[in-house]
Amino acid sequence: MVGGAGFIGSHLTERLLAEGHAVDVVDHLGSGSLANLAEARKMAGELKIHTLDASAAEFDTVMAMRAPDVVYHLGILPPGLPAEQTAAVSLASLLAVLEGARRVGGVKVVAGLSAVALYGDVPGKDQPIKEAQPWSPVGVRGAVAKAVAELLGVYRETHAVEFSALALGNVYGPRQRADGGVVAAFRQAFREGVAPMVHGDGRQTRDFLYIDDAVDALVRAASKGSGLVINVGSGTGTTVRDLWDLMVGNAGPAPLSAPRRSDDVHRFVLAPTRARIQLGWAPWTDLSSGLRELSR
């Protein structure tokens, strides 16, 4: 699992170990942390941690020795760094994974992508967004997300490397870095007793997805949904300002306003219909319940 020491990857590692799978984590710890794997390391099962970048030559050795059935790539455009600094590394690591899968044979690649980055600013009449919606990425993150999806398709067509690409909503939950998403940023602001920064008017909507729901979809994608880009979201949109109110009620200060970012989208809600059909998956954690779990 590339990026297995990150927010989503560490939770997925625990789920796979609990189900009796052997897990190899490949992570250079640029944005991930061994602390995220503390619980996984206490669990029964076979867990190996390789502190290296997937684009390094040693990754080929790991692939050849372990001959995995599935490789998860969750390290595309990691949080905390500008996309301009991580785009080349993200694409290089994906190509290394695809080449490794081609050489080993019989390996499925499951990649997690940002749905917002992939689809871009979609008109309200086309929401909730279905997979037939043309990709209209904005900025470097969008360009990389599109390139990842296209590379997966090319390797499937030319080298018979199977894949599933999950276009994820705004995933949130325990262990998420404060720079990894708006929920985590708001949580830190509330804990520190400061007003959060909101870009734009705060009326932009997002599809928030609890980490357990996201992990369940990733697990199912190991054996289902091959050759597809699949939207994984709650199907419900929540404005950024309403999110803050849900998290703090009357206990926190009003958010501060900052200029809207050039690559920001105004409204974004995913239709999880294909996920229901192809993965047998549906979200079960509404936002209020997920935020309660996060506050424990």
Helices (H), ranges, the chain? 7-18, 38-42, 58-66, 83-104, 115-119, 139-159, 182-192, 211-221, 240-248, 273-274, 287-295
Under 8 Å between Cβ of 209 and 176: no
Under 8 Å between Cβ of 169 and 232: yes
> 3-class SS at 242?
helix
Q: Is the pLDDT of residue 249 over 90?
A: no
Q: Is the pLDDT of residue 195 over 90?
A: yes
Q: With 0-12 CB in 10 A as exposed, 13-18 as middle and 19+ as buried, what is 183? A: buried
Pairing verdict, β 238-239 and 205-206: antiparallel
Q: How confident is the model at residue 262 (pLDDT cuts 50, 70, 90)?
A: confident
81 lies in a domain? yes
Domain count, the chain: 1
Q: Is the pLDDT of residue 250 over 80?
A: no
pLDDT of residue 78: 87
198 lies in a domain? no
203 lies in a domain? no
> 3-class SS at 171?
strand
Give me the count of residues in the chain.
Answer: 296
Under 8 Å between Cβ of 28 and 232: no
CA–CA gap between residue 244 and residue 240 (Å, rounded): 7
Could you give the percent of the chain with pLDDT greater than 70? Answer: 100
220 lies in a domain? yes
pLDDT of residue 217: 98
For residue 56, which phi and psi values (nearest 5 degrees)?
Answer: -75, 155
188 lies in a domain? no
CA–CA gap between residue 127 and residue 235 (Å, rounded): 10
Give the residue-averaged pLDDT of 129-135. 98
CA–CA gap between residue 238 and residue 286 (Å, rounded): 11
Residue 168: which CATH number?
3.40.50.720
265 lies in a domain? no
Domain of residue 138 covers 7-172+208-235+271-284
Residue 225, amino acid: G
pLDDT in tens, 47-97: 999 999 999 999 999 999 999 999 999 999 988 788 998 999 999 999 999
Give the residue-averaged pLDDT of 269-278. 98
**What pTM value is reported for the model?**
0.96
Give the residue-averaged pLDDT of 251-271. 89
Average pLDDT of the chain is: 95
Q: Is the pLDDT of residue 275 over 90?
A: yes
Q: Give residues with Cβ within 8 angstroms of 35, minimum separation 6.
A: none
290 lies in a domain? no
124 lies in a domain? yes
Give the residue-averaged pLDDT of 98-109. 97
- Pick the more confident residue, 152 or 260: 152
pLDDT of residue 251: 80
pLDDT in tens, 135-191: 999 899 999 999 999 999 999 999 999 999 999 999 999 999 999 999 999 999 999
In the structure encoding, which two tokens stand for residue 125, read together?
A: 């009449």
pLDDT of residue 282: 97
pLDDT of residue 295: 85
